[in-house]
Structure 1
C-alpha cells in the first residue's frame, strides 16, 4: 500500500479481559518496521466491554484518520464469529480471513460471518486442507448470496512469502471500483453507518441520563438489590427508571 504513495492508517482492536478490564494491545509489536514511516499511523484499541468485535471509539478513530488524509484505513477486529460483525457498519470493503482446516466450524459461522465479507482470504494456504477450506467457503457463499451484483471473491495467500498478495490487492481495488460505480451501494452503506452511529450515541446518552436520574436513590445498585431480593424483576426496575426520565 505504501508503494502506491498512499498514507495508511491501522486500527487494531484487542479484546479486554472481562475480569481485569486490561488488554495486551500487542498488534503494534508485529508492525515495528513501520514505526518510523510518517505515512503510517498505527493505533491499538481495547474493546472495553463493547460487543461486536470493535471498540466504541473505533468509528470515531476512522473518521479522524479519514479527515487527516489517510487513503487506506485498515481496521483489524478481535476476530469474528456469528455476532462480532460490527465491522460491516464502518467498512467500505470487508475482508474475512480464514486458516485452513476449519472443518465443521464453517457450518456454525454461515449465519453471520459469511454474509458480511466482500473478499474471503485463506491465509497460510501452503498448509494442508487449504483447497478443502476454499471449497467449504464457496459452498457457504452459494447459500448466502448477496443482494447486490458483487460476487465475493475467495483468494489464497501466504503472508510469510507474499504469495497471493498481488491478487488480493487487485481484488480490493476491484471492489473499490464496484462501490464507486454503484453509488446506491455506497449510499446504502453510508446511511446504514449513520443509523448505527446515531443509535449508539443515543443509547449511550440515554444510559448516562438514566444513571444520573437514579444517582440520588443509590444508583443502579439499589435497584439490583431489590431484584436480587425478588422485590421486583429487572423489567420492572427498568420501567421504574424510565418513568423518572
Structure 2
C-alpha cells in the first residue's frame, strides 16, 4: 500500500517519482484512489490546461514539444499528458513517452507522461481528469494534453481543457475533414503547422472561411485566431503562446474559465457515478432478477425500457 500523504507531499516538491506513482494509482484504479483525490483536492486548481489535438501527421508531438520549450523559457513548470492509441492486447500505450519530447526528459521543470486510451472513444484516457489533477497539485503552471486525433471523437478534448488548440497541416485535406467531422466548434486557437509547405496559405484561408460560416458572434465574443507555424523549427510558436494567453485573459474577463471548469468537474463526477452504477449492474449478471426481467422481455410481457427502470430501481435500492 502506498503512503499517500508522503507521496502527495513529495509530488508538491516536484519529485517525478512521486508524481509517476500517483498517476499510476489513478490509471490502475487503485483502492487508494479516493484517498489520493481527497488529498489532492485542496491543492489543485492553479494550472492552465491546454488541449492539443488534430489528425495524425499534423505534428502534434513536435508542436507540443515546441510549446513546452516556449513555456519553459517563460519560467513556467509544464506537465504533458500524451494520450496514445492503446494496444488492444495489453491496453498499454503503443508509443510510450514521445521520442520527439526526449529533449525535455532531463528538465526537472517538465513532467511528461504517456497514457493509453484503453479503447475509450474520444481519444482520452478515462483517467485523464484525475491525472490532470495530479499534475496540477504537483505545481505545474501549464498542463498540455496531447490526444490522438481520431475524427469527430476529438471533441472530448474540449471537455478536459481550458483552451483547445486544433492543429491542421496543408495538403492533408484537413479543412474539408474538419468541416465534415464537425470539430471546428471545439477549437479556441487554430494552428496551421508545416506552414513552409505549399498550400499553407490556402489552408488558412479555407479555415478562415469555414469559421466565418459558423455561428454568428456577438461583439466581444471570442474569435478563434489562426496561427501558422513550422513547429520543427520553432517558428510561430511564440505567436501560439500569445494567442493562448489572450484566450485565457478573455475567458477570465467573461467568466468562461470558471464555467468551463465547473462543467468539467460536473462531467467528472457524473462519470464516476455512472461507472459505479455500471459496476453494480455488472454484479447482477447471472442474478435471478436480471434473468427474470429478460424472460419477460423475450415473452413480450415487458418492454425493455420498463425492465431497465426496474433494474435501476433494484440497483439503487441495493446501494
TM-score (norm 2): 0.67
More divergent stretch after superposition (52-61 vs 28-37): 28-37
Judge conservation of contact 2:163–2:248 (CA < 8 Å) in 1. yes
User: 5 Å matches for 1:50-199?
Assistant: 50-103=120-173, 106=176, 109=179, 112-145=182-215, 149-182=221-254, 184-199=255-270
Judge conservation of contact 1:110–1:140 (CA < 8 Å) in 2. no
Secondary structure of the structure 1 residue equivalent to 2:114: strand
Alignment partners' CA distance in 1, 2:137 and 2:265: 17
Deviation of 1:44 after TM superposition, in Å, equals: 0.4
> 1:208 — aligned with what?
279
Secondary structure of the structure 1 residue equivalent to 2:115: strand
Deviation of 1:133 after TM superposition, in Å, equals: 0.8
Rate the CA distance shift 1:204–1:46 in 2: closer, same or farther, 3 A. same
Deviation of 1:63 after TM superposition, in Å, equals: 1.1
Deviation of 1:95 after TM superposition, in Å, equals: 0.3
User: 5 Å matches for 1:210-229?
Assistant: 210-212=281-283, 214-217=284-287
Alignment partners' CA distance in 2, 1:179 and 1:25: 34
1:16-59 CA deviation, whole Å, 9 max, x = no partner? 24466443133422211211111100110011121112001111
Judge conservation of contact 2:83–2:116 (CA < 8 Å) in 1. yes
Alignment partners' CA distance in 2, 1:194 and 1:90: 9
1:172-231 CA deviation, whole Å, 9 max, x = no partner? 11112212222x21122122112211221111111011112x14539x99x99xx99xxx
Structure with the largest fraction of helix: 2
Alignment partners' CA distance in 2, 1:104 and 1:162: 22
> More relative contact order in 1 or in 2 (CA 8 Å, sep 6+)?
2
Secondary structure of the structure 1 residue equivalent to 2:154: coil
Question: How large is the Cα RMSD of the aligned pairs?
Answer: 3.1
More divergent stretch after superposition (91-100 vs 191-200): 191-200
Alignment partners' CA distance in 2, 1:125 and 1:118: 19
1:28 aligns with 2:28: no
> 2:119 — aligned with what?
49
Q: List alignment gaps of at least 5 residues for structure 2.
A: 1-70
More divergent stretch after superposition (69-78 vs 166-175): 166-175
More divergent stretch after superposition (196-205 vs 76-85): 76-85
TM-score (norm 1): 0.85
Judge conservation of contact 2:166–2:190 (CA < 8 Å) in 1. yes
Rate the CA distance shift 1:146–1:235 in 2: closer, same or farther, 3 A. same
